[in-house]
Structure 1
Amino acid sequence: MKKLACILALSSAFVSVNAFAWGYDGHRAVGAIADQLIRGTSAGQHVQALLLPGESLEKIATWADCVKGTSCGPQTDEMVAYTTANPQHSEYHYTDVPFQLSHYEDHGVGTADHDIVQTLKQCILVLQGKADKTTNPHNFTPRQALLMLTHLTGDIAQPLHVGEGYVGKSGGFVIPTRKQLDDKEAFATQGGNNLLLDDVKLASNSTQLIPAAPAEDKPAVAPQASAAAAPAAAAAPRPPQTTRAFHSYWDTTVVNYAFRRIGARTPSQFALLVIAGNPVVAPNTGDPVSWPYEWADQTLVVSKLAYADVVPGAMTQQTSKTTGEQYNVWPLAIPDNYPVPSSAEAKGQLIQGGYHLAAVLKAIWP
């Protein structure tokens, strides 16, 4: 399932889709939590040995998304080398298990040999020094494995990066077989990218339900552009956004809500606040290489909550302005109070991601 292609198609058509799963702040919050938890440990020393001067887990947490394009600035030689050697790198970030299921199973519907669970296993084996040509098919170096592990441990905590909503031909979410998907009896929603929320209604509801951002985040009077700097012909204003992809909501909008609900302004501040709360995170067991399966199963639990009481409407088609290809979309109705429980779950998942990242690093380098 080419989720990245769908994201590009949607963004060019009418939906604003952030390039980052969990968004910039969400991924950096996961890294910032882990930075705090491994400080002064053997794991912390080994991590620093693989990082460049000035880097931290927080700062590298978005690297694996930055390599997808120029949203973070020009591509470095390291990024170009990685993407050249990994032409399917955008598919390492997710799996598409039907959200109704309880377990990720190898070769199950929606899984792939290079999906997020398999890629995380590979990263862990490389950092353990146990990888070979079979278990490290992408030839990750230890540094690349750390870059990917840091990012993907955040990704696998994002509910829609594990639990996929499949819509049946007659409507409603279903658990499809591969044959039903091939026969167009059921359709993938591409991680919720093809499920469209009413963004106007969402914004109105969230204003009433979610605290405003801290005052320090609000800009002063917007600077006025000088006449000399103004373009000769101003670009036509973009029409206001009226829909939001369900995936985009879980990538960025809900992270903003989670930050606002605890008064955090930055990823580092979010990390300090949640760690101070002494959260209870279930420990992983057994060989760390098996932990991605546990993480996927835990996220499937939250995926069910993400899809609870949400209802897809009638399927229609849109045409990509860049490729001319048609794709299916569904309007998605959510409960009016959805921002409240979803932001609580997002906070919990960001915490899970940060604590899981620290735990696996400590297990690799005790």
Structure 2
Amino acid sequence: DRRGIHFLAHPEIEQQLHDFWKANPPNPDASDTTPSHHWMHYTDVPVLDVEKYGDGKTGRGNWDIVHTIPYCIGVLRAEIAADNPRKITKAIAVILLAHYLGDIHQPLHVGAEYFNEAGEPSDPDRGAPGLGDEGGNALSLVQNATAERKRHYYHSFHAYWDLDTVRNLTIGTPDEVPKEERENVYAPAKEKVIADFVANEPKNWRTPGDPKTWAEQWANEILPIAREAHTRMRFEHVHREEKDGRVFAKGEAHEIGTGYLDWSTAVVGDELHKAGWRLADLLQKVL
């Protein structure tokens, strides 16, 4: 597949990645027995009220990110056989952990908003029925105009946190750079950010206890930020939608006031900084 990622110098790892994908296919028939690898990147804890991961059931799953990180740790510790049903070998476990550590430090990979039939935020963990926004993937984001920037519309609230905030952190603008300029713009900017992260120890990055407990601790740590990411918004045109067998809440998230871009960029900088140090610490402890 020319569209896929290939490791020409490491064909055995490429084969292991293919095996992992086949063992965890993203299809409508996914279940706890044969989970979708998509599930492993997130958990959707309701953010309307102050809540920790262990306080409820909504949005959590046996193969969400909070469960998959310790599974990978178990493989690296040889507590779980490398030839396991999920086809997570030691090499794949390292690759996944490098990715998941970034995911779990992105607030919309952990918290989600839920809405009732009237399009108002609700908390299913407290008895109020509601449909989730799929971690912000089903919400568009509208940012208000400032003196420096005109009113801006983002197709996906989630993608804004994944991409636009990182661009703003690295190159000083959330806007995409023309394709022909990207390498010259992004490469030196990323190198500078990485060098700063490596040279300066972040605050409050150490995690106590057994590494298998860390994922839940990290989820609990970022949930208040996920909640603030939503409380800084007002929601409009929220309605029920169905697609590919999924039922979810679709609508728009409108910034309240201004300053969301600066705030979210600072959050992403802090979280990526901690994620890198935590990944290094985790691998040192389990390899």
For normalisation by structure 2, the TM-score amounts to 0.77
Matched, 1:250 2:198: no
- Indicate which of 179, 202, 216 corresponds to 1:293: 216
Matched, 1:279 2:228: no
Seen in structure 2, the aligned counterparts of structure 1 residues 252 and 207 have a Cα distance that, compared at 3 Å, is farther
- Indicate which of 250, 256, 261 corresponds to 1:339: 261
- Indicate which of 300, 305, 314 corresponds to 2:228: 305
Matched, 1:195 2:195: no
For the residues of structure 2 that align with 1:260 and 1:312, how far apart are their CA atoms? 30
Q: How does 1:4-19 map to 2 (within 5 A)?
A: none
Superposed displacement of residue 152, structure 1: 0.5
The structure with the largest strand share of the pair is: 2
Q: Do the aligned residues in 2 keep the contact of 1:116 with 1:152 (CA within 8 Å)?
A: yes
**SS of aligned partner of 1:314:** strand
Q: Do the aligned residues in 1 keep the contact of 2:107 with 2:226 (CA within 8 Å)?
A: yes
**SS of aligned partner of 1:333:** strand
**SS of aligned partner of 1:81:** helix
- Indicate which of 67, 72, 75 corresponds to 1:126: 75
Seen in structure 2, the aligned counterparts of structure 1 residues 325 and 121 have a Cα distance that, compared at 3 Å, is closer
Q: Do the aligned residues in 1 keep the contact of 2:165 with 2:265 (CA within 8 Å)?
A: yes
Superposed displacement of residue 304, structure 1: 1.9
User: In the alignment, which residue of structure 2 is the partner of 1:171?
Assistant: 119
What code does the residue aligned with 1:271 have? I
Summarize deviations over 1:33-83 as a string: whole Å, max 9, x none. Answer: xxxxxxxxxxxxxxxxxxxxxxxxxxxxxxxxxx9x936579954432221
Q: Do the aligned residues in 1 keep the contact of 2:24 with 2:86 (CA within 8 Å)?
A: yes
Q: Which runs of 5+ in 1 are unaligned?
A: 1-66, 210-240
Q: Do the aligned residues in 2 keep the contact of 1:104 with 1:293 (CA within 8 Å)?
A: yes
Superposed displacement of residue 350, structure 1: 0.7
Summarize deviations over 1:182-241 as a string: whole Å, max 9, x none. Answer: xxx41100010111123xx56x549549xxxxxxxxxxxxxxxxxxxxxxxxxxxxxxx9
> Larger Rg: 1 or 2?
1
Identical aligned residues as a percent: 27
Superposed displacement of residue 315, structure 1: 2.0
Give aligned pairs, total: 257
User: In the alignment, which residue of structure 1 is the partner of 2:99?
Assistant: 151
Superposed displacement of residue 104, structure 1: 1.1
- Indicate which of 248, 251, 268 corresponds to 1:330: 251
For normalisation by structure 1, the TM-score amounts to 0.62
What code does the residue aligned with 1:305 have? E
Q: Which runs of 5+ in 2 are unaligned?
A: 9-13, 26-35, 174-184
